[in-house]
Chain A
Amino acid sequence: MPSGIDFLSQGINGIVLGLLFSLIAIGFTLMLGVIGIINFAHGVLFALGAYFAFTLRNSLGFWAALIISPLLVGLIGIIIERLAVRRMYGKDALFCLLLTFGIAMSGEELIRMVWGKLGHSIAAPAFVSGSIDLGFMLYSKYRLLLAVLSALILFLVWLFLEKTSYGAIVKAGAQDSEMVAALGNNISRMRTLVFGIGSALAGVAGVIAAPLWSVRPGMGNDAIMPAFVIVVLGGIGSFWGTVIGGLAVGLSVSLAVMFFPRMSDLVMYILAAVVLLFWPRGIMGEKSILED
């Protein structure tokens, strides 16, 4: 039986991972909840964030890369939305799925062409390299930074949605976009903006995750699979659902290693299946566009 300290250390690790998972999923949730699309390209946007940072870091340093890379990814998101995704609004959800799937596949191929097919491991920035002694355990300094950054960004998203008037428009748009338009708001521009923000969030998650999971052309899967699971777990379009879902996944993966280590990869899917049995809309879920 693992000791209390084992639980504590795995628990802390689980929360750290959970915050990263929440960050990975939040952009996906926004797009699904507000625009009503399943963005399969979320994984490739995540990968692009990591790759841009990989390239920029040597010349500009970690912090500059952390800010510029997501902006670039956000820009790409806006371009994708304006050129392609917006034509799928109002059509069967399947069309958008296929479109974003196609973008994901070609995006991955593009990454292979530009950066090569081999993976690269990314070092944590020097000031957070190596381990820190927390007394009862040694923990990775970078992971602590990662937790802080993830929490901060999630907080900024929350602030935007809850405290700004544009945030109110975005939230209202998730519920009744026709009425929001009838009140004089440009929904089309709002959707573009949300797609851009969602993409930038995927990008920043990629930058932050890169030193942890290394960059590989196929790294989008590290993002899209947990994003799906978390959205299903936490409820479509719910901010807190995403945060809770992310933490649940992070904790279950960490704790699973203590009891069923060979299943630690599968645990998140099992968890999702179990939750769905009791809460078909997820823990915080509301009736969504997908149910109509």
Chain B
Amino acid sequence: METKDDKGISRRAFLKRSAAGLTILTVSGVPTLLRAQQPSIKIGAVIPLSGNYGFLGASERCGIGLAIDEFNSKGGLLGRKVEVAEEDCATDAALAIRKAQRLLQSEKVNFFLNGGGSSVSAAMADFAKKEGAVDMCIDPNSDILTGEKANRFFFQVPPVNYQIAHTIAPYVAQNIGKKWYYFTHDYSWGWTLTESCRKFMKEKGAQEVGESKIPLNTRDFSSFLLKVRGAKPEVVMVNVAGADFTAMVEQMYEFGLHKTAKIVIPLEDFEDAWAVGPEKNSIFTLMGVEWHYAIPGVPGINEFVARYKKLFPRASYPVPTTNSYNAYMGLRELLRAVERAGTLDAPKVIKALEGHAVKDSLKRDPTLIREWDHQFVQDFYYFRPKKKKDMKDWTDIYEYVGYGKGTDNAITKNLSQARMEKLPGE
């Protein structure tokens, strides 16, 4: 029996058309399957191009570019070209996840790279696990990323606060001073760094004479700086980062804090030092730096720097920084693991990464990709400001003092909160 609606289309005809439509839609899913066999391998890069950490994004892009160029210039990965699809997370976790979703669904990326601060990365860690997509985390230093957030799909490239504190604090206690004052950036990164520093400070017989928690987006540090004076510290530990750090350095210089105490910054980004300029940066006695292009006695660094300059003659920074380095390392090792595994299948790639030792780490010691917390266990350096007369050019701001081995200073299994889940089939 036929029923007609007022447009004169019979119901049967309508159903036929719908069925045809559905079939076409399903069949068009075949190209989706076929796409997995398509020429290029896609990396989804969710990085900060604006917002509080926007300046990091520029450096990270260069690192990503270097890794991709390395593979594509040698015929690609598994015979296929490597491409990157970039999205700006603007240092916002919710935005980052939306963009990652889009990258996964529309762009059909195979793997992820993420940066933009601890909250973005914490969210991406959950996302990676949920979606079963491997994600390399390239800029934050928060302990939870290799602690409670650690999972099989998420890999942490930069060292975390525990290791940083473990490298810097003992050196400072032994060589610089015993009475410490902390400036703690008033959010989780700042708190955990100070906590870790305290632990090692006490172990080495130094004592805390005071702390000021610096609220985010503080513009005026004058009152904090004047307050320090009363505590009469020998050492001031600056656990503050980003735009607040830049303003703070200006004002520390203005108030002559370096004339009355030795200022230490356990974690400094070249980009921040660049922003304040070498004269102001020289108020520091010691600076913890993950990587620097002029670390002496490391093979391969000069070639790496030369390649950077050739590929990016007009980059925001004329030399690669820690953030370019971490982005490069993270992506390069991911791609190498894919090569070793011979497949894009996530569990196999994961197993190719876990336990792997990276010999050409561009640091003194090889970097170990630890299987029980997925930390890239790498060396951590410390420098003092280079005197102006010794500087070869204005990027040559750091003078080498020493370093701590990743294997000596990274958190040990018994202290770690990391609990890795089993992959299907294990």
Q: Do chains A and B touch in the complex (CB under 8 A)?
A: yes
| Chain A residues proximal to chain B, CB less than 8 Å | 2-3, 5-6, 9-10, 13-14, 16-17, 117-119, 121, 123-124, 130-131, 133, 137-143, 211-214, 216, 222, 253-258, 261-262, 264-265
Is there contact, CB below 8 Å, between A213 and B219?
yes
Contacts of B219 in A (CB 8 A): 212-213, 222
Is there contact, CB below 8 Å, between A262 and B186?
yes
Q: B-side binding surface: helix, strand, loop or mixed? A: helix
A254 to B223, CA, bound (A): 5
The digit string for B27-59, where 1 denotes a CB below 8 A from any CB of A, is 000000000000000000000001000110000
Is there contact, CB below 8 Å, between A214 and B259?
no
Is there contact, CB below 8 Å, between B275 and A121?
yes
Whether a CB of chain A sits under 8 angstroms from the CB of B260 is yes
Is there contact, CB below 8 Å, between B223 and A214?
no
Partner of B223, one of A3, A133, A257: A257
Contacts of B230 in A (CB 8 A): 2-3, 5-6
Is there contact, CB below 8 Å, between B220 and A9?
no
Q: Give B223's nearest chain A residue, CB to CB.
A: A257
Beyond A131-B254, A261-B213, 10 extra complex contacts between A and B, CB < 8 Å:
A6-B230, A13-B223, A17-B222, A121-B247, A137-B229, A140-B222, A140-B255, A140-B256, A216-B243, A264-B218
Partner of A142, one of B215, B218, B227, B254: B254
Size class of the contact patch on chain B: 20 to 34
Q: Give A3's nearest chain B residue, CB to CB.
A: B230
Is there contact, CB below 8 Å, between B254 and A124?
yes
A3-B230, A121-B247, A213-B220 known; A131+B259 contact, CB < 8 A: yes
Whether a CB of chain A sits under 8 angstroms from the CB of B276 is yes
Is there contact, CB below 8 Å, between B222 and A13?
yes
Contacts of B275 in A (CB 8 A): 121
A253 to B243, CA, bound (A): 21
Partner of B247, one of A140, A214, A256, A261: A214
Whether a CB of chain A sits under 8 angstroms from the CB of B191 is no
Interface residues of B in 267-302 (CB under 8 A from A): 275-277
Whether a CB of chain A sits under 8 angstroms from the CB of B253 is yes
Is there contact, CB below 8 Å, between A131 and B256?
yes
Interface residues of B in 232-251 (CB under 8 A from A): 243, 246-247, 250-251
A6-B230, A130-B256 known; A261+B224 contact, CB < 8 A: yes
Q: Give A5's nearest chain B residue, CB to CB.
A: B230
Is there contact, CB below 8 Å, between B251 and A6?
no
- Residue among B213, B217, B223, B259 with max Cβ neighbours from chain A (10 Å): B223
Partner of A143, one of B222, B227, B243: B222
Is there contact, CB below 8 Å, between B226 and A13?
yes
Partner of A257, one of B227, B229, B250, B254: B227
Q: Give A120's nearest chain B residue, CB to CB.
A: B275
A121-B250, A138-B256 known; A265+B218 contact, CB < 8 A: yes
| Chain B residues proximal to chain A, CB less than 8 Å | 50, 54-55, 186, 212-213, 215, 217-220, 222-224, 226-227, 229-230, 243, 246-247, 250-251, 253-257, 259-260, 275-277
A23 to B321, CA, bound (A): 41
A257 to B275, CA, bound (A): 27
A142 to B250, CA, bound (A): 11
Contacts of B250 in A (CB 8 A): 121, 211, 214
Can you name 9 A-B residue pairings with CB atoms under 8 Å?
A3-B230, A13-B222, A14-B223, A117-B54, A119-B246, A130-B254, A142-B254, A261-B213, A264-B218
A110 to B114, CA, bound (A): 31
Is there contact, CB below 8 Å, between A9 and B254?
no
For the complex of A and B, list the 7 residue pairs with the smallest distance between their C-beta atoms, beginning with the closest: A131-B256, A257-B223, A140-B254, A138-B256, A254-B223, A9-B226, A213-B219
Is there contact, CB below 8 Å, between B223 and A143?
no
Is there contact, CB below 8 Å, between B226 and A264?
no
Q: Give A214's nearest chain B residue, CB to CB.
A: B247
Is there contact, CB below 8 Å, between A138 and B215?
no
Output the least CB separation between A211 and chain B (Å). 8
Is there contact, CB below 8 Å, between A213 and B247?
yes
Partner of A258, one of B220, B227, B259, B277: B227
Contacts of B186 in A (CB 8 A): 262
Q: Give B214's nearest chain A residue, CB to CB.
A: A261
Contacts of B229 in A (CB 8 A): 6, 9, 137-138
Q: Give A14's nearest chain B residue, CB to CB.
A: B223
Is there contact, CB below 8 Å, between A10 and B226?
yes
A213 to B244, CA, bound (A): 10
Is there contact, CB below 8 Å, between B223 and A10?
yes
A214 to B230, CA, bound (A): 27
